A and B are shown apart, each in its own frame.
Chain A
Amino acid sequence: MTFEHYDIPDFFEWFVPALLVWFPLAVAALCFGGWLLGFLISAARRGPVEGFYAVAKVIASGVNDLRATSLRRTMAIALLAVQESIRRKVLVVFAIFVVALLLAGWYLDVQSDSPAKLYLSFVLTASNYLVLVLALMLSTFSLPTDIKNKTIYTIVTKPVRLFEIVLGRIVGFSLIGTFILAGMCVISYVFVVRGLSHTHEVETTPTVMAGETGPPQGETTQDAHHRHTFILNEDGEGETNVVAGHKHYIRRIGEGPDATFEIGPPVDSLQARNPIYGTLTFKDRAGTDAEAGINVGHEWMYRSYIEGGTLAEAIWEYDNVTADRFPDGLDLELNLRAFRTHKGNIERGVRGSFYLENPDPTANFRRTEDIPFIVKEFAMDRRFVPRKLRLEDKDHNFHDGDIFEQLCTNGRLRLHVKCMDPGQYLGMARPDVYLLDSSTPFYLNFIKGYVGIWLQLVLVTTFGVMFSTFLSAPVAMMSTLASIVIGYFGEFIAGVTLSTINPESLEANQGGGPIEALIRTAGQLNLQIDPEIGSIPLKIVRAFDFAFMQLMSLVTVILPDYVSFSTAEYVANGFNIGPELMGILLLKTAAYVGIVSLVAFFFFKTREIASS
């Protein structure tokens, strides 16, 4: 289980430059670009002077329109858009979703080790795709159809401004999408909760196995494709082991052979944890600082490995570690990997240990004792570190102490991880060891996951309406679809564009731009040799490719990155979608809606000029 989305900037670090630099820059570029484009088209039609005046007139009237925009009229248009949507039977989407959920059991792996992740991914992804398709169809067909059928005149002849028509449609379509999405959210929640709900009976009552020692161990029945073992304490209470991402609490009722057992519902299967990530550094086998650990030969170089039985360490440093935040101690989660260079002891996992250290080298107390652990792969290994521990002072004597009072310096604390088994390795990446803040209720996180989808819905609707102001319905639909595809595959497109813009980059996909790639494909050339078409034609081809790729690069930057709006992975992996991320996404959406609405308005206005 790996979750890579951890690099969320601090809200204010993001917001201040965004507001003071990038937003004004984007608005200025857009104004100038819009004016230039309008002027060029108008000048071509009417000559430069008349063209200039025509553009100025449009801008002036546009500003008047904007100033006189009425919320009441906008909402009236929005209401009409809602009515129109209902007339166009958009609720069919809802029915499709329900049918998809009803049949989900056929497609989903009921034996999955992480059923919650699977169920959540499914409902969120299905909702996302269906709602985007809905937004695409609604937003792109409405205006062109009205214009084609001339029903638009029944509106424009009313005292309604063009910006109100544009904004009203965006709001109206978004509203209907919101209702549908809300319905999906409720049904999905019920589906997930009910789908994961199960209980067990006790199959094997707790007994001490022959030849073994330790507390008596029992076993539950197999339900929902799994079973648990459990241990009871002397009071007859206990909990099961974690299987399929959850556990159950269990209680014995009565004594002796007549005793019965009560097993509770699944616990921890639906979570919204708040991880606090630190920065990661390494020490090599000689104990000196290193940029990374060892590459053990995995194709995916996400994790670095440290060698066991040496001085190699992975060191995380955390900020804001305070007693107020963690009154009882630190909740840690580890998601480490083991790599064996020899078989070792098969029955036992690779051993590691960690300790906490004061980042201040001059502090009196340096570190805690080593806390050993056995690595658990592909499962969240949660550990609690009590605040009262044995601490080592600078004279290497141990005393009882408090980690917040004696080890934290200005809220900073280091955590060192070592591998204890010689010849074996532990692998880690930055988000693999984190502190856990108090959890958020799952349903809130689930709603936030749907808010992420809603933001995408609004964006697609806005772009769809914008394209429909000056394109015919099918073309507008294809354009909006292209914007979605580019938005979803922006990273890949960026890699392709880099092949021409910066071929030396490690992220670049080799092979050149479209024409060069076509030549390579036709000639069956590999990526290491240049096409043999002569140096000058090659330069021309590459120049064209370069220009095209620059354009593509610009487009990917301008269009919204829909992947960043997709918060399903957070919900599915049980991580809370933090306020920083939500804030950033909301502001990004607002900015896009504002700017694209304006662009749509001026396109619509231009269309009016053209028709006149």
Chain B
Amino acid sequence: MTQNAAFRRKVVYLGLIALLLIPLYVVGHPAVGDPRDTGYSAGGRLAQLRAQHDLSPAEIGDIDPTSESMKLATLGMRGVAATILWSKANDFKKKENWEGLIAVVIQMSKLQPNFISVWEFQSHNLTYNISVEQDDYRFRYAWVKRGIEFLIQGTHYNRREPRLFHLVGWYTGQKMGRADESKQFRRMFRDDKDFHKLQAEYVDIDGEGRGADGQPDSWLVSRLWYNRAYDLVDTQGRMLRGKTPHIFFIDGPKALTNYALAIEDEGFLDERAEYAWRRADEELTRYGDRQVPTSTGLIIRLNDEESQLADSQRYAAELDALVPGAREAIEQEKIDQLTPFERDAIKMPGDQITDPNVYSARYNAFTKTKVTHKEVAGRAPADVRARAYRLAQQAEDAATFADWIDRYRQNVNFEYWRTRCKVEQLRDTVTARRHIYNANQLREKVELDAARAEYEKAWDLWAKVIDEYPVLLDALTDDDLYEHVDKYQKLLAQFDERLPADFKLRPLLERRGRMTAAVATEEASNTDAAAKPTADASKPEPKSESKPADEPTPEEKPASAESKPEAKPEAKPEPKPESKPADEPTPEKKPASEEPKPESKPETTPEPKPESKPADEPTSEKKAENVEPKADPKPQAKPVSDEGAKKDDSKPTDENAD
């Protein structure tokens, strides 16, 4: 009896188990075959969900038996095990137990192979934090390499994750090329045939990766990794998480500019440098043609700013032609409605205002007297009013586009690099740099006469290039040219001489606001020449007409203020569009625009906003430089504040990206 009951119970249990297997099968049975084949089965619900969300391990990356067995061995305590390993990793790092750390990191990555943060965080740890703990640069290099190799391992497990490929490029380029030890790192990278062998399994290191000396170059190899990341986004539709597209895609072109800079530093100052800059220019142009979604949903191309501005002006001109005199009339009406205090304020040149109330009143006055295209269209006769409104809308749309493009350009310093690429590929520029390079070498060998001659050849060529490309004055403010001028001055000092008053790069020095006291003294002593530098300072007259931003730096203000063009109170700068969201990528610093576009700016560009500075604008010191000396209330008009801003502008992109 008892035996029968026990037997029955077992049969019931078995039956229940069999029943439970049915829903389990329905939910969990795996996909079978290739989706493109006939007879393909999509599998159960779980398999379908995995496929739908790209969560299938086989889709994400390689399946590693070690990793799988480790996960199983933790018996469902993977989270606990991972937490313990993270804690151990921190402890090992604190106690400088690098062997222990790397062992734990490897275990951690096996335990959580598809958790991207493990790869990102720990590869950074190895490449940056552990490497700098080593005093010997060769050990540092070894740890940088370990971090990169670790990350490459991560790409096996996550072969469709663009961030990891991008990071490999970043570490290979930035860490090797920008560290204090970059000279040593780049040299070691070139000679590291074992590392080349590894990298050759993933990128074309033996083709496009080879640099000026025929050896693999860290910047070029980094670009190849970026390209793999770009390929995942462009052709495989992988989502880009955690990076805005224009920042993400600039690194490839920037790798080429960095490569060009690096080989010039290393003395490759011939057609190889020209070619490097030309390639960078082409890549940057391709980048500029790339469609970039903005945070507002607009899709822009960085190359389109000029055409959008031109369109906006054309539409505005057509509108004005359709409703002649309306704009001026509306403006006058608005001026009439201002208070007397505001009317006085609006007439005052911006750089003469010291009272914040006046400045504020002036800003308000400009805001109030701003004439929109739609207001102009509203005055159109009834028979053309519809067309006028259409033109007004088109003009505003184009201006908005241009404005957004400008902001995004500033984020990546697009104009600066584009200008630089264009100019640096010129034979004269490369030759000028070669002379400087030679001069520095000769200086180190104490061949002072020869060094001086080389410097002077370089200055002649630089002056020629700057004459040919006046916009370069802005681009060069960040250049190491100043450093070389300083060296030249020191060299002259050894001849008991000073920088001559007619030094050909004086406009460049003055722009930088770094005229030395010695120079100033010499100028003061030379009364005949006194006027000349001042005239030189404001020399870009042709430009100053078209580019009010070419005003002197604060240090030069007393000298140059006299020659400054009269402020134009009638110019109506626009206030910043109110719709501009605070969290939008507002440019941190305002680069000067090399493009001759001021004509269009007054109508279409943003405006000074003393009370409403964006939170991410430069610090107060920088701000003071940028705001105070402004000649008219257009300083915030996008292209026009270049005092010292180019210096701020050229680096921050890298630093931010860093």
Interface residues of A, Cβ cutoff 8 Å to B: 1-2, 103, 106-109, 111-114, 117-118, 222, 227, 299-300, 302, 337-338, 340, 343, 346-347, 349-350, 375-378
Contact = CB atoms under 8 A, between A and B. Distances in A.
Contacts of A349: 135-136
Contacts of A109: 99, 102-103, 106
A346 B102 contact: no
What are the 10 A-B residue pairs with the smallest beta carbon separation, nearest first?
A106-B66, A338-B135, A114-B99, A300-B94, A377-B135, A109-B106, A109-B103, A346-B137, A299-B94, A346-B181
A347 B137 contact: yes
A109 B110 CA distance: 12
Interface in B206-260: none
B438 interface: no
Given A118-B103, A300-B96, A377 B184 contact: no
A338 B102 CA distance: 22
B66 A107 contact: yes
A347 B184 contact: yes
Contacts of B146: 111
B103 A112 contact: yes
Nearest to A336: B135
Nearest to B110: A107
B147 to A, nearest CB: 12
17 contacts: A1-B99, A103-B69, A109-B106, A112-B99, A112-B103, A113-B98, A118-B99, A299-B94, A338-B135, A340-B135, A346-B137, A346-B181, A347-B137, A347-B184, A349-B135, A377-B139, A378-B98
A227 B194 contact: yes
Interface string B88-126: 000000111111001100110010000000000000000
B134 A378 contact: yes
B76 interface: no
B66 A346 contact: no
A111 B147 CA distance: 12
A201 to B, nearest CB: 15
B65 interface: yes
A366 to B, nearest CB: 32
B180 interface: yes
Contacts of A350: 135
A268 to B, nearest CB: 16
A140 B373 CA distance: 91
A103 B110 CA distance: 14
Contacts of B107: 107
Given A111-B149, A114-B99, A378-B134, 11 more contacts: A2-B96, A106-B66, A107-B70, A109-B99, A109-B103, A109-B106, A112-B103, A375-B135, A378-B96, A378-B98, A378-B139
Contacts of A117: 99
Contacts of B66: 103, 106-107
A401 to B, nearest CB: 34
Nearest to A338: B135
Interface in B44-64: none
Nearest to B134: A377
Contacts of B110: 107
B231 to A, nearest CB: 29
A269 to B, nearest CB: 14
B101 to A, nearest CB: 10
Nearest to B102: A109
A464 B191 CA distance: 60
Interface of B: 65-66, 69-70, 94-99, 102-103, 106-107, 110, 134-137, 139, 142, 146, 149, 180-181, 184, 194
A500 B99 CA distance: 37
A112 B134 CA distance: 16
A349 to B, nearest CB: 5
- The listed residue with most B CB atoms (<10 A of its CB), out of A103, A337, A343, A347, is A347
A302 B94 CA distance: 10
Contacts of A340: 135
Contacts of A227: 194
B99 A222 contact: no
- The listed residue with most B CB atoms (<10 A of its CB), out of A113, A117, A118, is A113
Nearest to B180: A343
A106 B95 contact: no
A2 B95 contact: yes
A346 B98 contact: no
Contacts of B194: 222, 227
Contact of A300 (B65, B95, B102): B95
A242 to B, nearest CB: 13
A76 B617 CA distance: 87
A1 B98 CA distance: 8
A302 B95 contact: yes
A340 B181 CA distance: 14
A128 to B, nearest CB: 17
Contacts of A299: 94
Nearest to A245: B99
A1 B66 CA distance: 28
A399 B507 CA distance: 67
Nearest to B184: A346
Contacts of B181: 346
A542 B51 CA distance: 56
A376 B139 CA distance: 10
Given A2-B95, A375-B135, A377-B139, A346 B180 contact: yes
Nearest to B64: A106
Contacts of B94: 299-300
Nearest to B181: A346
Contacts of B106: 107, 109
Given A299-B94, A346-B184, A106 B103 contact: no
A114 B69 CA distance: 26
Nearest to B95: A300
A1 B94 CA distance: 12
A97 to B, nearest CB: 15
Contacts of B97: 1-2
B619 to A, nearest CB: 26
A2 to B, nearest CB: 6
A197 B69 CA distance: 28
Contacts of A346: 137, 180-181, 184
Contacts of A118: 99, 103
A219 to B, nearest CB: 10
A108 B96 contact: no
A571 to B, nearest CB: 15
A302 B96 CA distance: 11
Nearest to A114: B99
Contacts of A112: 99, 102-103
Nearest to A376: B136
Contacts of A377: 134-136, 139
B141 to A, nearest CB: 11
Contacts of B134: 377-378
Contacts of A302: 95
A222 B192 CA distance: 12
B265 to A, nearest CB: 16
A112 B146 CA distance: 10
A109 B146 CA distance: 11
A2 B95 CA distance: 8
A114 B106 CA distance: 15
Contacts of B184: 346-347
- The listed residue with most A CB atoms (<10 A of its CB), out of B65, B95, B99, B137, is B99
